[in-house]
Amino acid sequence: MAIELDHRFSTAKPLDESYATILDLERVVPCVEGGTVLAATGPGSVRAEIKVKLGAMSITYTGTVEIVEQDPAAHRAVMNVKSREAGGQGYANAIVVFTLKPGGGTIHTSAQITGQAASMGEGRVGRVLDALITDFTGKLGNL
């Protein structure tokens, strides 16, 4: 299943400081509820895990988060997330685009989800993903 979401966030931090924060995956990944950095794998790349609750079911995904594009002049960054469902055949992959401006910015998420999570239905998965990103944007503004 494919899900597209757009979110806004606010911050009082200076623009360049906010952009530097976005590029710091070891600070950003734990801002996602259930997200943990397992290891840095290179500049702009980490191995990470996220535990997601879908109603009574909990699914753990393990994979990589990598910054694949950076445009400091435009304060824009693109992350590629690739993860596999622990003990299952599914995956949750996403391209996440951060565009910053003074006072905040936007996050566009384009996700592809299969396996157990997809069996829960697009509506439920979309709501869970939307809630995760909404929570993330609140924390991001305070980093």
Q: What is the pLDDT of residue 89?
A: 86
The rounded mean pLDDT for the chain is 92
Structure-token pair, residue 110: 């384009």
pTM (global) more than 0.95: no
Please tell me the distance from the alpha carbon of residue 73 to that of residue 49, in angstroms, as a whole number. 31
The three-state secondary structure class of 62 is strand
Range of the domain at 101: 2-140
* Cα R_g (the chain), whole angstroms: 15
Q: What is the CATH number of the domain that holds 77?
A: 3.30.530.20
Q: What is the pLDDT of residues 17-76, one digit of tens each?
A: 999 999 999 999 999 999 999 999 998 999 999 999 887 888 999 999 999 999 999 999
Structural domain count, the chain: 1
- Whole-angstrom Cα distance, residue 76 to residue 21? 12
pLDDT of residue 6: 96
Residue with tokens 């469902």: 85
